[in-house]
Every structure is written in C-alpha cells, then in structure tokens.
Amino acid sequence: MCVPTILTALAVVLATGASHAQVPAWQAKMEGERRDAAAGNVSVFSITSRSGLDPSWAPGVHVYYNAPRPFCYAYVYPGEWVTLRSRPGVRSKDGAAIAGVTFLPPRTLAAAAGGTLIERARGIAVRAHEKALRQTLTAVEVVPFESSRPGTWLLKASPVAKPDGQRVKFPLHVIVELGTNAIAEVNVHGTGDDDSMARRIIESIRTSTSDECYLPELELLFKAIDVATPIPPSGAELAYITAARQAQSDVGNPVYRPWYENQMRPAFNHFFGAALNQCTARAGSSGALSLGLVLTVDTSGAVTGVTWREDTGINRCLDPLIRQQRFPPPPQTAFHFGVESNP
C-alpha cells in the first residue's frame, strides 16, 4: 500500500495557523486502507520480533482483504517470512520454504464441475497444479486433514517429476471449507514441518461480511506502530544495506557502464550459474531461492570482499567460490557488484 505524501508550502502553513493540525500517521494510513478496500486490494503487513509492538501482535505476515463482497478475510503466516513479488504468498528468508493462501469465492466454485464443494475445489486445484508442473497428476484423492478447524481436507497425488527427472513428494495442499460457502487453499512446502505450519495458517483464517470488515483491527495496529520503538538493524544488516547502495551507485556510474555490461556481468554470469547449481544441489534445495550479495572487485580483478544479506547454507557454500575468482579489472577504483533475487 502506498500512502501519498502531501507537501504544503511554508507560506500556506503560516497563513492558516494552528487550525489545520497535522493528520496523525495512523489516520493517514487508515484513509489509504479505506481506498484500498474500496478498490478491492489486499493489504499485507510484516510484523517482526524487532517491530517493537505489544506482544499481542504476533510476529508474522498479516494479510487483510477488506472488501465485504463476497466476503472479507484475514489470516497470518506465523514467523519470519518475506513476501513474494511474483505472486501472492511468502518465502522463508533462506528461500528454502514457500507458503501461500488462495480463496475461491462462491462464483468461482459455481462455475466448476462437480457435485459437491470439495469436488469442485479438487478439480480447480488439480488443473492449477498440472498447469504449473506441466504434467498430469496421478492417484489424486482428497482425504481429511487433521486440524482444530472442521472441514479441512488434504489433496494427495503421486510424486511429481522435476525438470532433472527426479521425482519428489507432491507439495502440501489443504482445502479449507469456509462458512461462506467458499474455499481457502493453503499450500506449504520446504519448512521443517509443513503440516504444522499449514495448521497454524489455517487456524488464523477469518472471514466476515460486515461493512467495516477488519478495518478497526488495522486502526489498532497503526496506532500501535505510531508509538512503538523498533529495534534497530544489526551491524550485519547495516553493512549489507550500505554495500547494496554502493553497488547501485557503481552500476549507474557512466565510467563503469561499458566495462560492466561487456566484461564484468558476462564473466560473473558464466561463473555464477555453475557455482549456484553446485551449491543448491549440495544443499538439496528445491524451494524458491532468495539471494542478496555484494562483492567488491579491486583494480586487479580480485574479489576483496563479499557482503551477504542473509546467512544461509547455500550462501556459505557460495562465499569461498566467489572469493577465489578473478574478474576483469575495473577501469577505475574498486567496483561493487550486487546480486538480488526475491521470488
């Protein structure tokens, strides 16, 4: 959500006096939320253990949809996650795990084939998986899924083939019956305990048809944010932020541009693809990959430093491989080369 900043000329402020008090931050955010609700937009807020909020606001990615037609909903991905850019959902910080929630409203289910709600949801889910995996699912069945919430079902299928020919377990897909004659689909893959994570997400799902939906709850959240004192970033986080800014500055410098496009970037891509395949295979990773690194190349082409956004097994594997490389010497002083991937 983007709340516009309104700039008012100093002369106007002085002329109007104190009668036009500044709008509190929480109130400005609520105005934006109401506009988003009217437009049918989903709002996503990440609360971390360092947000400085009251313990009643559990760490996690909190999702709100406040358009009451056909219904509003809210749910939480508990824990520390990063929101996906390419599609709705989240990934773990190391990129090994991924989770998502999808709602199927009554009109979508009514158009699907099947005699019951679950049969229609099953058909929709199978078609979506087959399209994404580019293969036909076999031995498909729907069985009860153990949860404290009634009406939860597990979609099962035979192991699926990866592009390299290996077969892996069909990812966890839970179908949740909602009291609004709709369905929620919960997908989790790559956590230490996918079933447990799915249950926690399922238990957080709420729906409403009231006009205000969950806007009062968001107002409480915004007021809490206004008075909270966040815990500042760690030294390692600040180091990465500083290095990433320098990398952005270097790549935009016209002195480096021809060398970067014609020499440095091709050389790095040639090396990094093989190194990344080696480290992901060693780690046995099959989830969405998250990368954030800045390497420094001196005037001889040697790598004099690597700064990482996150400490992961794949990154620890890549670090020595990167440091021992020698790249084309930059035309002037040391060059900062940044790589980021946010699925």
pLDDT tens string 86-144: 778 998 876 778 999 999 999 999 999 999 999 999 999 999 999 999 999 999 999 99
pLDDT of 327 above 90: yes
Q: What is the pLDDT of residues 182-203, one digit of tens each?
A: 999 999 998 889 999 999 999 9
Separation of alpha carbons 232 and 255, rounded Å: 35
Strands 72-78 and 82-83 turn out to be unpaired
Higher per-residue confidence, 343 vs 130: 130
pLDDT of 69 above 90: no
Tokens 């915004």 found at: 222
Structure tokens at 221: 């959240």
Share of the chain above pLDDT 90, in %: 69
Residue 189: closest CA among 208, 210, 225, 162 = 162
At 46, is the pLDDT very low, low, confident or very high (cuts 50, 70, 90)?
very high
pLDDT value of position 45: 94
- Helical (H) or strand (E) element with 224: helix 215-227
Q: Which residues pair with 155 in a beta bridge?
A: 142
Q: How many CB atoms lie within 10 A of CB 33?
A: 22
Chain centre distance of CA 234: 21
Indicate if the alpha-carbon torsion angle 159, 142, 105, 35 is positive or negative. Answer: negative
Give the number of C-alpha atoms closer than 13 A to the C-alpha of residue 338, restricted to the C-beta side: 17
Separation of alpha carbons 97 and 221, rounded Å: 27
Please check whether residue 100 is in contact with residue 111, taking contact to mean a CB–CB distance below 8 angstroms. no
Separation of alpha carbons 120 and 338, rounded Å: 46
pLDDT of 20 above 70: no
Q: Residues 6 or more apart from 75 whose CB is under 8 A from it?
A: 63, 101, 184, 201, 204, 205, 206
pLDDT value of position 343: 56
Q: Taking the model in full, what pTM does it have?
A: 0.71
Residue 185: closest CA among 142, 131, 133 = 142
Separation of alpha carbons 225 and 222, rounded Å: 5
DSSP secondary-structure letter at 300? T
At residue 189, φ and ψ (nearest 5 deg) are -150, 130
Separation of alpha carbons 114 and 105, rounded Å: 15
